[in-house]
Amino acid sequence: MNRASKLICEFVGTFALCYIGGAGVISAKAAGASEGMTLLIAALAHGLILFVAVAATINVSGAYFNPAVTITMWFNKRIDGRGAIAFLIVQFAAALAAGGLLDLMAIYGGSSDAWTEAANAMALGNPTFDTGHLALPAVIGIEMMLTFILVFVIWGAAVDPRNGRHSGALAIGLVVAANILAAGSITGASMNPARSFGPGFIAYVMPGDYLPHFWTMQVAYFIGPILGALAAGIIYEKFILPPDEGRSPV
């Protein structure tokens, strides 16, 4: 499989996750949904699009769609250094592109104050947490645990040769949906540095002060998921995989 096809799949999958997930939240709010219903819609939008995107691309690129997953796969020698760097660039580029289109979606949604509504909608469509009431170490810890669960499921359902790779698509979609339901209203349930950074950065640079603690949030959304992903990968690789399981880097 050539590298270009893998990068295209990683771009499309990451873009779909960020765009459909964010659009689900924006649409829910535009329809006047309650906070609880918006959380449910966010979980379903992210879980469903991840399910189909993983099923469509897992046999080409591995369907990482997440810098934390890319890093743990590189750490465990399932992707080489050049491939990992290329995946990271593509994943962040896709997230930024999704953020830009979410911006346009909000602006042309019929608002009389387009910039304000767009920025507010972008913030709603992006993982955030209340920096005034939730300590940074707590957010890091929660995001670490959520991502640990996600990557453990990825390892078991899509990496472990005792399971068919396609069987992992539904499991991965469901665990993301479950994690968002569990902690979306607390930490934003990012589990993915690109998903947090791309749309959030677009909202941050828009006129106004809509995400004043954006960079503080990124500290939690980078450290927590990366540590959680590394821990899950190391534990599954060292203690659960069959000892004669050969690596087949993507």
**Per-residue pLDDT reduced to its tens digit, 2-55:** 889 999 999 999 999 999 999 898 888 878 888 899 999 999 999 999 999 999
User: What pLDDT, on the 0 to 100 scale, is given for residue 114?
Assistant: 58
Rounded to the nearest integer, the mean pLDDT of the chain is 89
Q: Are 39 and 128 in contact (CB under 8 A)?
A: no
Q: Are 127 and 189 in contact (CB under 8 A)?
A: yes
Please state the pTM of the whole predicted model.
0.92
User: What pLDDT, on the 0 to 100 scale, is given for residue 136?
Assistant: 95
pLDDT band at 85 (very low <50, low <70, confident <90, very high): very high
Percent of the chain with pLDDT over 90: 67
Asked if pLDDT for residue 225 goes beyond 90, the answer is yes
Residue ranges per domain, the chain? 3-239
**Per-residue pLDDT reduced to its tens digit, 95-147:** 999 998 888 777 666 454 655 666 666 666 788 888 888 899 999 999 999 99
Q: 3-239 in CATH: which number?
A: 1.20.1080.10
